[in-house]
Amino acid sequence: MQANDAVPNPLEDLDTILVDEAALKSRLTELGREINATYEGKELAVIAIINGAIIFVADLIRELNLSIQLDCIRVSSYRDETRPMQEPEIIDKIRLDLKDVDVLLIDDILDTGKTLSRVCQIFRKLQPASLRTCVLLDKQTTRSVDFEADFVGFQIPDEFVVGYGLDFAERYRQLPCIGVLKPELQNPPEWT
Ligand code: 5GP
Ligand code: MG
Ligand code: MG
């Protein structure tokens, strides 16, 4: 590579940084403490909704001093405008037996609440001993269903954010911070 070749830097596509790397790290440690205290002495099944929760769950479980089973699920999007509006559904088969198990569902961000409220409805039928939810980000002003998470990393304003697992057209997940894309890069919106 020539010395003057431009190296793509996705951080330069951000307009603003809402949560920087240091803030993420220290909040993750606090969240880990809260979760450790809640489940002290118990075995926990951590179920992450991917792809969005992939970085968050990887860092979070390393803050937990608990016996953990980890699995991931994918949830179909209801934001596909090429098809009629539909309820989010779990695409994968849930492989762990969750009956009488303490379950913690992890998602990247709580927005309208439809995804987690639907996934919780499905998980309750599996008769877990307990079912709680943990999200890194919470846009409290955008809820369309009555749903709150048990553990929340940060409250953020109603902006489309990327980074630390969150994508725009599957890009930007690797950014070490949470930020808002420059307006000229936000069109058309891609929310899956
Ligand atoms: P909800 O069902 O609560 O409206 O939305 C949850 C899902 O929508 C998240 O798991 C995420 O996939 C997507 N989402 C909502 N807001 C944002 C955002 O600001 N940025 C990104 N990248 N995805 C979002
Ligand atoms: Mg998602
Ligand atoms: Mg997405």
Is residue 103 within 8 Å of residue 128, measured between CB atoms?
yes
115 belongs to a structural domain: yes
Is residue 66 within 8 Å of residue 39, measured between CB atoms?
yes
4 belongs to a structural domain: no
> Which burial class, exposed, middle or buried, applies to 124 when counting CB atoms under 10 A from its CB (0-12, 13-18, 19+)?
exposed
H-helix or E-strand containing 107?
strand 102-110
100 CA distance to ligand 2 middle (Å): 26
> Which burial class, exposed, middle or buried, applies to 146 when counting CB atoms under 10 A from its CB (0-12, 13-18, 19+)?
exposed
Low-confidence ranges of the chain (pLDDT < 50): none
Q: What is the mean pLDDT of the chain?
A: 92
Q: What digits encode the pLDDT tens for the residues 22-77?
A: 999 999 999 999 999 999 999 999 999 999 999 999 999 999 999 999 999 999 87
The predicted structure's pLDDT at residue 139: 96
Whether 5 is a known active-site residue: answer: no
Is residue 17 within 8 Å of residue 177, measured between CB atoms?
yes
177 belongs to a structural domain: no
170 belongs to a structural domain: no
The predicted structure's pLDDT at residue 72: 96
10 belongs to a structural domain: no
127 belongs to a structural domain: yes
Given the residues 13, 111, 138, 167, the one annotated as active site: 111
Residue 162 forms beta bridges with which residues?
A: 179
Domain that holds residue 74: 22-80+87-156
Q: Whose CA is nearest to atom 19 of ligand 1?
A: 160
CATH number, domain containing residue 68? 3.40.50.2020
pTM, to two decimals = 0.93
149 belongs to a structural domain: yes
133 CA distance to ligand 1 middle (Å): 15
Residue 113 forms beta bridges with which residues?
A: none
Domain count along the chain: 1
The predicted structure's pLDDT at residue 80: 58
The predicted structure's pLDDT at residue 37: 98
105 belongs to a structural domain: yes
